[in-house]
Amino acid sequence: MRREGSPWQGLGVVTLKELSDHFTSTRMRVLEWLVVLTALAAVYGAIQQVRDVTAEDPFLFLRLFTTSREPLPSFVAFLSFLVPLMAIGLGFDAVNGEHNRRTLSRILSQPIYRDALLFGKFIAALTTLSVSLIALWLLVIGLGLIMLGIPPGGEEMARAFVFLLVTIAYAGVWLALAMLASVIFRSAATAALVTLGVWLFITVIWPALAPAVAEAFVSPDNQALLVTTAQMLARLSPSTLFGECVLALLDPTTRTLGPVYLSQLQGAVMGSPLPLWDSVMVAWPQFVGLIAATILLFVGGYVAFQRQEVRA
Amino acid sequence: MKETVIEAKGLTKRYDTAIAVDGVSFSVAAGEIFGLLGPNGAGKTTTILMLLGLSDISAGTARVFGHDPAREPLAVKRRVGYLPDSVGFYDHLTAADNLHYTARLMGLTLAARKQKIPAALARVGLSEVANKRVGTFSRGMRQRLGLAEIVMKEARVAILDEPTNGLDPQASVELLDLIRSLKSAGVSVIISSHLLDRVQSVCDRVALFNAGKIALMGTVGELGRQVLGGGFAVEVEAEGGADIKQRLESLPGVRNVEEPSPGRWRVTCDRDLRGEAAAEVVAAGGRLNQLSLDHPSLETIYTRYFQSTQEVRHAA
């Protein structure tokens, strides 16, 4: 039997309210400052390095994102750490916060479905993340214009834009994970700790562990299989997917993200850049993987939330 | 016969290991105040959540204005206002902003909100703090803000879960007055509470919950007759006189006479026997010092009922 009414009723109201909460919260301000300051430091370092080292590079502007100067990591490396932190910071108390404030049953007794509440919270947090990432992106490009003194080419801007989209999708994965934890764990502190633990494991430990796991299952005689298995396992981590996407998009000479076979090199001029569309095609599976992970995690949270008892 | 607004038939909630609500049936008429009373964990809140469509129904049916809360929750939730146990608000928002949010969830237009929210806040006496953050509110003020939400919703049924829980006597008297004013505006009210005496004064009918079942249901007077054997209790205090106990017992309509202390008698009877009791005392040659009529308290009924059911259980 179909249930009556639209699941989207009240979605806009919830989204707007959550957005205004996010933008006015102290937590958001702290996170923004953290991201802006560290990212600016990284770009500043990159610009120094780019000036010193790179002579003639057709994609000079993209070097802004990827070049690092000791001891600071590159802008991209910063993002791969800070974006999950921001997303977890915005999502870890989404549902259990309502429980603990005892507002959940009062809100759900209004004529809306639970769908609207959960989805509204997700959209609001993702919008907040997107707004700060876009601001950051513009800031970096503006800074690059001023400090490098050369305008970026059209293709560079297009690549940087796709990179922005990938970063937002990457943020979505962690946000969905944090919201799943906020549904499962009644205590916000537990949800935050568990999400951070999962993030550390997936980002730092898993990529190192994947080759060892692969060795356990694949005979060492078949080197190609061993390498591809290890890579497949490592790709279970959204951080690996994000890293590969960034590599393909921001380094136009990247021809493939797997092991390179001789057949792929036929007719290739080593070190020559791929056209934008080909680079996007190289990164496409990873990009889709990030979006799919977001959807899977969100659906998990959705199912758990629908089945949850409202009473405190 | 007034229109029935809420009807539950054999309502049951099963969890993996336990039955929280076991075959509960009752109905609430328009403009009636119905009390769900019983100890904590007796299944009152679960019953309420099932009526609102916030919890799945394991067996039985519920109808709110003829709508099934499990299938048409939005239709039910549009007509019913709910004040949860120790209600929470967004502490960083003002009272008015909190109401604006729920009003928008209800789908009220800006014009309707601008008119209804100040009116609702005035009705519960919170006009002066409308623009203060809810974080600074006392518990009583939060409960009243919850009632303002129901007033603003123009709900035809208000379900209040432990509304007087944790309130000081003054605040709970004020809250009960507000609840009475809801009734006079034609709203049906369901109140759940474990504080029997406080709620007794406002309820037209009550259902006593015990271990997921309704043990007793009816008006307080009916329950008194059913459990105590009489709906009235006359307290007599007198000095001197002979055989007053026997004389009182011989009056028609007297169920039972107790003598809690020398010179005091408590007469349980079917009707108001004050006049007859006074006459008996005087006829016995005693001096009547005090004479009063008690409606049996829910507390007494409740305690007595569970004492007797436990005795039956022990005997069996």
What is the separation of C-alpha B217 from the centre of its chain, rounded to a whole number of angstroms?
Answer: 12
- Chain Cα centroid distance, residue A162: 13
Judge whether residue A37 has pLDDT over 70: yes
Q: How confident is the model at residue B260 (pLDDT cuts 50, 70, 90)?
A: confident
Confidence class of residue A267 from pLDDT cuts 50, 70 and 90? Answer: low
- What's at A74, amino acid-wise? S
Percent of chain A scored above 70 by pLDDT?
94
Chain B CB contacts of A310 under 8 Å are 49, 54-55
Q: pLDDT value at position B222?
A: 81
Q: What local confidence, expressed as pLDDT, does residue B144 receive?
A: 92
For testing contact with chain A, the best of B21, B82, B105 (most A CBs within 10 A) = B105
Q: Could you report the per-residue pLDDT of A164-213, keeping only the tens digit for each?
A: 999 999 999 999 999 999 999 999 999 999 999 999 999 989 988 988 88
Structure tokens at A269: 């001029």
| Nearest alpha carbon to residue A178 among A44, A83, A64 | A83
CA distance B74 to chain A (A): 5
Determine whether the interchain pair B49/A102 forms a contact, defined as Cβ–Cβ distance below 8 Å: no
Q: Percentage of residues in chain B with pLDDT exceeding 90? A: 47
Place of tokens 């497949």: A232
Average pLDDT rounded to a whole number, residues B239-259? 83
Give the Cα separation of A60 and A156 in Å (integer).
Answer: 9
User: 3-state DSSP call for residue B36?
Assistant: strand
Which pLDDT band holds residue B230 (cuts at 50, 70, 90)? low
Inter-chain touch A105–B101, beta carbons under 8 Å:
no
Alpha-carbon distance B80 to B50, whole Å? 13
Higher pLDDT, B40 or A176: A176
The overall average pLDDT reported for chain B is 88
Q: How confident is the model at residue B240 (pLDDT cuts 50, 70, 90)?
A: confident
In this prediction, residues A42-63 reach a mean pLDDT of: 76
Contact B55 A311 (CB under 8 A): yes
pLDDT at B316 over 70: no
Q: Chain B neighbours among A 20-49 (CB < 8 Å)? A: 21, 24
User: What distances in angstroms separate CA B316 from CA A290, B144, B308, B310, B312, one per listed residue?
Assistant: 66, 48, 12, 10, 6
Query: Which residue from A minimizes the CA distance to B147?
Result: A106
Is some CB atom of chain B closer than 8 A to the CB atom of A302?
no
pLDDT-derived band at B39 (thresholds 50, 70, 90) equals: confident
Report the C-alpha gap between B37 and B214 in whole angstroms. Answer: 9
Looking at A53-57, A248-252, B203-207, which range is the least confident one?
Answer: A53-57
pLDDT at B95 over 90: yes
At A150 the three-state DSSP class reads coil
Asked if A310 reaches chain B (Cβ–Cβ under 8 Å), the answer is yes
A171 and A206 Cβ atoms separated by less than 8 Å: no
- Summarised one tens digit per residue, pLDDT across range B288-298 is 888 888 777 77
* CB-closest option in A1, A5, A106 to B87: A106
What strands, in cross-sheet order, belong to the sheet with B19-29? B19-29, B4-14, B59-64
Measured CA to CA, the distance from residue B83 to residue B149 in angstroms comes to 9
Q: Is B300 on the interface with A (CB under 8 A)?
A: no
| Two structure tokens written together for A88 | 């977890």
Picking from A203, A199, A166, A184, the residue whose alpha carbon sits closest to that of residue A89 is A199
**B74 with A9: Cβ contact below 8 A:** yes
Question: Alpha carbon of B202 to those of B177, B190, B299: distances in Å?
Answer: 9, 11, 15
In this structure, of A8-17, B80-89, B140-149, B162-171, the range with the lowest mean pLDDT score is B162-171
The per-residue pLDDT for A151 is: 82
B84 and A102: CB-CB below 8 Å? yes
Residues composing chain B:
316
From chain A, the residues in CB contact with B102 under 8 A are 106-107, 110
Tell me which of A79-88, A126-135, B102-111, B271-280 is least confident: B271-280
Least confidently predicted of A67-71, A161-165, A184-188, B20-24: A67-71
Question: Do B87 and A102 count as a contact with CB atoms less than 8 A apart?
Answer: yes
Average pLDDT, chain A: 88
Instruction: Give the tens place of pLDDT for each residue, A101-115.
Output: 999 999 999 999 999
pTM (two decimals): 0.88
Q: What is the pLDDT of residues A117-158, one digit of tens each?
A: 999 999 999 999 999 899 888 888 888 888 888 788 888 899
pLDDT at A130: 94
pLDDT of residue A41: 83
Residue of B298 and B68 predicted with greater confidence: B68
